[in-house]
Amino acid sequence: MNHQHNVNNAPAVNVQGDNNVINQQNQSQLVDDIVSTLREHGETNHADQLEKEKQDNGPKTALTKGMSWVANKAFAPPVLAALAPYIAQAAGMV
């Protein structure tokens, strides 16, 4: 069991917890950007699947799913090119 010993009796600051909230918000926005790009290129089925994944399992899982589609070349080259900046950003978050 881990214990924190505060010499000055001040409350501990949960920096990691705040960071997790920021990461989740960034991931959520990134999923929304990917969904929007998919819709702009007529990939509504994939966009719907990604939105459902985000709602059911969270944005990190949705990003992983989107990255796997790109890795497996599930889209036409113009769609892959449009998704490339978002997927590169997602790779650093997952």
| pTM for this predicted structure | 0.74
What was the pLDDT predicted at 67?
A: 93
Choice between 49 and 25, residue whose per-residue pLDDT is larger: 49
Length of the chain: 94
Task: Give the pLDDT score at 18.
Answer: 52
- Between residues 6 and 59, which one has the greater pLDDT? 59
DSSP assigned state of 75: S
Q: What pLDDT sits at residue 10?
A: 52
Question: What is the model's pLDDT at position 21?
Answer: 55
Establish if 4 belongs to a structural domain: no
Q: According to the model, what pLDDT value does residue 9 have?
A: 55
Question: For residues 20 and 13, what is the distance between their CA atoms, to the nearest angstrom?
Answer: 14
Which residue pairs from 18-25 have beta carbons closer than 8 angstroms and sit at least 24 positions apart in sequence?
23/93, 24/58, 24/59, 24/60
What's the total number of domains in the chain?
1
Expressed as residue numbers, the domain containing 22 is: 17-91
| Structural domain contains residue 58 | yes
State the DSSP code for 10: P
